[in-house]
Amino acid sequence: MNVASITEMWDRLTGSQPDPSRWLVVATALLALAAVLTRSVWRIVRNAVTIAHEGGHGLVALLSGRRLDGIRLHSDTSGLTVSRGKPHGPGMVLTAAAGYTAPPLLGLAGAALLAAGHITALLWGATALLLVMLVMIRNAYGALTVVITAALFLLVSWLTEAQVQAAFAYLVVWFLLAGGSRPVAELQRSRRRDRSGTSDADQLARLTRTPAALWMLLFYATALFSLVGGARWLLLR
């Protein structure tokens, strides 16, 4: 790869892309909302939320000084992230809290990039994060899911026109924003049926000696804040 090619790639990464039409922004928002609300579709696309959820656990575990042993993604859209370190303290609390807050916050970060016109940066950045996460995947289904998702981002960013890239990027961001609260609602329902106390909210309650309901409220508030803030950026651009 010569210097000119590297310079061209850098300019493409750091530069801004043309604004999409208003109808595209609204259409992708409605499509993402339909995917979140339609049960049969949600069962499939929820895998993307699980990737963000477990990736959030893993990233914060590393940033807080814990040792990340691995990540598993399962066909029922559940996941598991295993890290080593002190079983208490700020690092453990932040790691446990990162799962349900990661998808909407990633959506908010994506909305900020799109509002600044950095569609290519979003697509390439997502691809890079997925490839980094792939190194820590410890089961075949999880590896396959991450590879397919990363390949989709890469193919869209390299082989499609600007309008298609914009539609895909906006759809992904709207999906993370709109879908941020549904896993929390599912968690709330599952906690009513299962009193084993193994959920993220219950673990956080034990770690901080606070009610699990407080952490559920934090998860809902993060999802709502991200949705409102992200929608404001995307619709007012």
Domain borders along the chain are 19-236
pTM: 0.93
Give pLDDT, residue 198: 81
For residue 16, the tally of other CB atoms under 10 A from its CB is 12
- CA–CA separation, 115 and 118 (whole Å): 8
Question: CA-CA distance, 79 to 136, in Å (whole number)?
Answer: 13
pLDDT band for position 15 (50/70/90)? low
Confidence of residue 10 (pLDDT cuts 50, 70, 90): low
Place of tokens 């999409």: 20
Residue 190's CB is within 10 A of a number of other CB atoms, namely: 11
| Amino acid identity for residue 218 in this structure | L
User: What phi, psi does 83 have (nearest 5°)?
Assistant: -135, 160
Q: Within the chain, how many helices (H) and strands (E) appear?
A: 10, 2
d(CA 173, CA 168): 9
What percentage of residues in the chain have a pLDDT greater than 70? Answer: 93
Instruction: Give the percent of the chain with pLDDT over 90.
Output: 85
Determine contact, residues 205/86, Cβ cutoff 8 Å.
no
pLDDT at 12 over 70: no
86-96: pLDDT as tens digits: 888 999 999 99
**Rounded distance between C-alpha atoms, residue 89 and residue 38, angstroms:** 39
Beta-ladder partners of 83:
68
Calpha distance 141→128 (Å, rounded): 20
Task: State pLDDT tens for residues 33-66.
Answer: 999 999 999 999 999 999 999 999 999 999 999 9
Residue 122's pLDDT band, with cuts at 50, 70 and 90, is very high
